[in-house]
């Protein structure tokens, strides 16, 4: 009996430890200038007679084949392993060599998972700007639902985007909030953009769809419209309502309001 109690306590300790989530570390700021350590040093060259591989830079493998050589771009040819480490494409980047993970072009504001590397995530301040990049501690992976890093217990804990050329949008793991758009060239995914559904929307495998969280008014993707949620019998349903001309829906006040306009101050001549 005592032995079973000890096993139970150990199991509970393991579960409680695994449940602890921590924030990642900023490894690349959106305001920082891009810098490759390889650019400051002489690019590796082949010896002219051996067959081997070496990293040409953070994302390219230099393939030496005797008197000839070729480069393989990991980001383009193997999106799941976009970095070069020890002469091969890898999901991990060579921090010792001074490499940093690449930022992404932001599709929204807030936290976003990296589409290729589960230990990395991004913070976006504005659409179309480059993200700031954060990295989880060793043996941790990003949890998109909590925007924190959790211990990797199972292989399934490492979530990345699985591109499918037959689909326009693909899911990000089992998330109902995040999804992705993959661009292909010659059937190879060359670019992956992670997107996020608005509040009260969820990804259904094809698009973001609205679901009433309760009764009341809620924001629509179209700023001139809103959802009116109410019960019809025991079922919670909604109608799409439109704001009157010249007004937009304010999600904080939950009513249609006239947008505030700012008048530029006239220049003062000295």
Is the residue at 13 inside a domain? Answer: no
The CA-based angle 148-30-220, given to 5 degrees, is: 65
A 10 A CB-CB count for 41 gives 11
Residue 229 contacts residue 217 (beta carbons within 8 Å)? yes
DSSP letters along 237-253, please?
A: EEEEEEPPTT-EEETTT
Helix (H, G, I), strand (E, B) or coil at 233: coil
Range from 64-78, 112-126, 240-254 carrying the lowest mean pLDDT: 64-78
The pTM assigned to this predicted structure is: 0.75
Total number of domains in the chain: 3
Shared domain for 86 and 111, answered yes or no, is no
Which residues are 91's β-sheet partners? none
> pLDDT tens-digit profile of 202-259?
999 999 999 999 999 999 999 999 999 999 999 999 999 999 999 999 999 999 999 8
Residue 154 reports pLDDT greater than 60: yes
Is the residue at 268 inside a domain? Answer: no
For residues 227 and 225, give the distance between their C-alpha atoms in angstroms, rounded to a whole number.
7
Shared domain for 168 and 143, answered yes or no, is yes
Shared domain for 136 and 238, answered yes or no, is no
Shared domain for 156 and 48, answered yes or no, is no
Enclosing domain of residue 218: 212-257
Residue 265 reports pLDDT greater than 80: no
- Fill in the DSSP letter of residue 139: T
Is the residue at 80 inside a domain? Answer: yes
Is the residue at 8 inside a domain? Answer: no
Check residue 59 and give its pLDDT.
Answer: 87
Shared domain for 106 and 188, answered yes or no, is yes
Shared domain for 105 and 190, answered yes or no, is yes
Which residues are 179's β-sheet partners? 171, 195
């Amino acid at each position: 009996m005592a032995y079973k109690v000890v096993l139970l306590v150990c199991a509970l300790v393991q579960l409680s430890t695994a449940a602890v989530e921590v924030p990642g570390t900023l490894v690349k700021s959106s305001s920082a200038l891009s810098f490759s350590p390889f650019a400051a040093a002489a690019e590796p060259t082949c010896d002219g007679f051996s067959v081997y591989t070496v990293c040409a830079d953070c994302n390219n493998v230099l393939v030496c084949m005797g008197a000839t050589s070729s480069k393989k771009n990991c980001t383009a040819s193997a999106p799941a392993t976009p970095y070069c480490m020890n002469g091969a494409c890898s999901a991990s980047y060579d921090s010792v060599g001074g490499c940093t993970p690449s930022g992404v072009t932001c599709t929204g504001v807030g936290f976003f998972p990296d589409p290729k590397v589960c230990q990395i995530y991004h913070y976006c301040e504005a659409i179309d700007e480059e993200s700031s990049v954060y990295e989880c501690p060793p043996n941790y992976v990003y949890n998109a639902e909590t925007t924190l890093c959790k211990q990797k217990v199972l292989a399934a804990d490492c979530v990345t985007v699985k591109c499918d050329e037959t689909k326009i949008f693909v899911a990000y793991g089992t998330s109902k909030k995040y999804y992705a758009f993959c661009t292909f060239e010659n059937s190879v995914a060359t670019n992956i953009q992670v997107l996020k559904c608005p509040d009260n929307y969820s990804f259904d495998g094809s698009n973001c769809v609205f679901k009433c969280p309760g009764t009341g008014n809620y924001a629509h993707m179209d700023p001139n419209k809103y959802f009116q949620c109410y019960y019809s019998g025991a079922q919670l349903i909604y109608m799409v309502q439109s704001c009157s001309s010249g007004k937009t829906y304010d999600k904080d006040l939950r009513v249609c309001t006239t947008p505030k306009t700012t008048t530029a101050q006239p220049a003062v001549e000295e």
